[in-house]
Amino acid sequence: MNDAATSLSALITSKRRLSAPEQIEATVHATDGNSTQTLQVIARSPTGEYRSTTDDETVSYNPRTQELVLESLDDPPLWTHRDEFPMARPVLAMFSPLDLPIWDYTLNYEVTDAWRNGDSVRLEFAGPAGRGHAIVDLENHVAVELLYRDWHYTVRDLSTTLHGDVGRTVWT
């Protein structure tokens, strides 16, 4: 098996290795070169929800109901369905790498290369909207870096908590 195939296989099997339900909390910095956002993310909560929060907005996604909820400070909640996720909120998909928008054939993205470096896999991808990459931490099954549509997302201060246990910092 070539290196790219081996790396993709490692990514897929890392999902299976998640032996205990864990909640992940992280800070994600996102920039497009002109502006910067800091998002607080909680993923794989006890209810299965993925949530990101900024100063003016909260976005949550429930994989069981496939419902994405946008809550602005000034507006009532707006519900959408699966076709809006993960493309509308790639920061949430970073915490479920097999849901990253790079796998969406309707956007014509294609993974062009992949290689493993220790406990992470780097995926290079290209499509009509440009090129990018994702670096996936195989131990926690989280994309710790994503360059997608001119936005660069970087995970910082990641910690996990076994549901009901005390948290531990695993990646900074």
In this predicted model, what pLDDT tens digit does every residue of 74-95 receive, in sequence order?
887 776 665 555 556 789 989 9
Task: Provide the whole-model pTM.
Answer: 0.81
Question: Going along 15-166, which residue ranges are E strands?
Answer: 22-31, 36-43, 50-53, 57-62, 67-72, 78-81, 110-117, 120-127, 130-137, 142-148, 151-162
What would the pLDDT profile of 131-160 be if each residue is shown by its tens digit?
999 999 988 889 999 999 899 999 999 998
- Cβ neighbours of 49 (radius 10 Å): 19
Domains of the chain: 2-156 (2.50.20)
Question: Which pLDDT belongs to residue 60?
Answer: 87
